[in-house]
Structure 1
Amino acid sequence: MLIKLGYNETKWKDGIKDVFFWNTAKVPHILISGITGGGKTVLSQMLVNPLLASRVDIAICDYKAGGDWNGIIPNYAEFTKCEEVLNEFYNSFIESVESKVYKEKYLVFDEFSSYALSKDTKEFKELMSKISHIAFMGRSFGYHLIFISQQFNAKVLDTAIREQFGIKIYMGSTISTESATMLFPNCEINKSLHLPSCCGYISTPEKNIDIIRIPYIKEPDKLKKLLVQKGQAYFA
C-alpha cells in the first residue's frame, strides 16, 4: 500500500509538489515524534485515514487518553487497557508466524514512550521482546507498527529496534539534540533553524534526512470526525 505522508518542503517553496510516500510493503514500520502542537497527531490521523478506507485490520492504543483516537474503531484502548490490545496484536502475530499466514494488520500506538517507561524492569523486558519480535519479522507476515510519541530515546527503543522503523518523522519548528541524535544519527541538522509551520524532519530508506510539509488543517476536529465516520461505516 502507498500512503501519502506529506510534501518535500524544499521543492514546495519552488512550487513543486514532490510527495513523500510510505510504501508499507517495503517499509513495515514508522516512528512519528515531535513537540506538542507540532503536527504529529494530524499527520498520524491523516496516515490512518487511507488505512480505514482500505479496510485493513487496525488496532489503536492511546496511552495518554487525549481524545484523539477514541470512537474510531472497536479495537481501541486507553491507558492501562493498552496492554490487552497490544497482547492481542502480538498473539495474532505469533499465530501468523507459526501458521505461515500473511495478514495485513496495523498497530497505532500513541505515546508509546510513556507506556514503555511506566513498566517495571521485568515488564519492560517482556514488552521489548514482543516489540523486537514484531519489528524484525513483521514485514514477512504483514504486521506493521506505527509508534507516536514526543520523543524516542535509548531508554524506550534501543538502536537495533529503532533501525527497523524505516521511516522516522519529527514534527515541529525546532528539534532537540537528543531527538536529532536518536532519530537521525549521523545527519547534520542545523538545530538553530526554525522550520515553517506544518513542517518537520523525515528520514526514509532513500534519503537520510529531508524536510516534510503536511497540509494545514484549519479545524482538526473535522479530521477526527471523518475518521469516526469511516470507522463506523467499515465496522458497522
Structure 2
Amino acid sequence: LKLMNGVYWNYEADPHLLIAGGTGGGKTVLLMSILSALAKVGHVDICDPKRSDFVGMRDVPVFENRVFFDKDSMIECLRSKMQFMDERYDYMTNHPDYKAGKRYSDYGLTPEFVLFDEWAAFISSLDFREFDEVIQILTQIVLKGRQSGVFLILAMQRPDAEYLKSALRDNFMKRLAVGRLTGSGYRMVFGDENEKKVFKYIKGKIGRGYVANNGELAREFYSPSVPFDKGYDFHEELSKLPV
C-alpha cells in the first residue's frame, strides 16, 4: 500500500498499523484514504465508537454488514475476526498443498483488515470483563494474524499504555503520526529508537507528520492530498467499487 512517494506499508512484511494524531491534524482523511485503497484488495471491517466519520460507510455496498459503532457489535466484530482467523488456519493446514511457512496468499486467499478508529474511546467504554476479553482477542490477532492474512489498523489520539499495552503496541510494525503530539506521545508511537529525535510541528500543515517501521528512525510524512475543492467525495467513490 503506497502511503506517499517512497513510503509504503507492506502489511505482510510489517503487519498491523498504528496511527496517532491530534484533533484537526488530518487523521480522519488519512484513514479514509487508506480505507479506499484497502477496499480494492481485500475486505475491511470498520469500527467507529464515536459514531461519526465512518458510520456513513454502512450504506456503501463493499462495507455492507461491516460497519460497527455500538460497543456490543464492535466486540462481536473482534470475536468473529478471531474465529475467522482460526478457521483460516484450519483451512490452510488441511489444504492438499499445505507446506509449513506458507501464508494465506499462497492459497489464493485475500487479506482481511479491521480498521478501528478512536480505539481509546472504545476501551474506555468497556467493563473489566469486556476489557479482558478484548485484550485477549487483540493479542491473538496481533500474534497470529500475519500468516492468516488478518491485519489490524488502530487509530487514536495517543497510544497510552492504559489503552494499548506496551507489549501489544510493540507488535504493530508500521507506525504513523499526523498532526500535533506531545513529546511523550511521539515516544509512545515510535519507541526508544527515536527518543533523541526532534519532532517538529508546523502549524497549518494538516496531514503532515512522521512514519516509521517499528524499531527504525522516523521520517517526515505527508498524507495523500485529497481534492475536496474539486468535488471529491469518499462515499461516492467507494460506492462505485464492486463487491
Distance 1:117 1:189 in 2: 31
TM-score w.r.t. structure 1 length?
0.83
CA gap 1:143/1:40 in 2 versus in 1, 3 angstroms: same
Q: Distance in 2 between matches of 1:26 and 1:77?
A: 28
Query: Does the CA-based 8 Å contact 1:153-1:178 persist in structure 2?
Result: no
Partner residue in 2 for 1:213:
222
Distance verdict in 2 for CA 1:226–1:189, change over 3 Å: farther
Q: 1:38 Cα deviation (Å)?
A: 0.7
Question: Residue 118 and residue 228 in structure 1: after superposition, are their counterparts in 2 closer, same or farther (change >3 A)?
Answer: same
For the residue of structure 2 that corresponds to 1:138, the secondary structure is helix
One-letter code of the match for 1:88? S
Q: Could you tell me which residue of structure 1 aligns to residue 69 of structure 2?
A: 78
Partner of 1:197: 206
Is the 2:3–2:9 contact (alpha carbons within 8 Å) kept by the matching residues of 1? yes
Alignment equivalent of 1:166, drawn from 154, 170, 173: 173
Name the residue aligned to 1:67: 53
1:1-236 equivalences in 2 (<5 Å): 3-6=1-4, 18-54=5-41, 56-71=42-57, 72=60, 73-74=63-64, 75-80=66-71, 81-100=73-92, 102=104, 103=109, 104-172=111-179, 174-186=180-192, 187=194, 188-191=196-199, 193-195=200-202, 196-205=205-214, 207-219=216-228, 222-230=232-240, 233-235=241-243
CA contact (8 A) 1:33 1:169 kept: yes
Would you say how many aligned residue pairs link Structure 1 and Structure 2? 217
Instruction: Tell me, yes or no, if the aligned pair for 2:191 and 2:215 is still in contact at 8 Å.
Output: no
Q: CA RMSD in A?
A: 2.1
Contact residue 5 and residue 43 of structure 1 kept, 8 A: no
The 10-residue stretch of structure 1 (139-148 or 61-70) with the greater mean CA deviation from structure 2: 61-70
Q: Is contact 1:76-1:85 (8 Å) kept?
A: no
What is the CA distance between 1:97 and its match in structure 2?
2.9
Gaps of 5+ in 2: 94-103
- Give, in whole Å, the separation in 2 of the partners of 1:67 and 1:46: 13
